[in-house]
Amino acid sequence: MGRKQYLQVWDKKTGRKLLYHRQLAAACLGRQLEPGEIVHHRDGDSTNNTRDNLLVLPSQRYHAHIEHLLRCERRGQVMLFPEFLSPIRQQVPGSLFENLLIDMRGAR
pLDDT for res 66: 85
DSSP secondary structure string, 52-83? GGEEEES-HHHHHHHHHHHHHHHTTPPPS-GG
Nearest to 54 by CA among 18, 95, 85: 95
How many CB atoms lie under 10 A from the CB of residue 49?
19
Q: Does residue 100 carry a pLDDT above 80?
A: no
Nearest to 60 by CA among 35, 80, 31: 35
pLDDT for res 101: 53
29-54 pLDDT, tens digit per residue, is: 889 999 999 999 888 899 999 988 88
pTM of the model: 0.71
* Phi, psi (deg, nearest 5) at residue 43: -90, 0
Domain range list for the chain: 8-99
69-95 pLDDT, tens digit per residue, is: 888 888 998 888 877 777 676 655 544
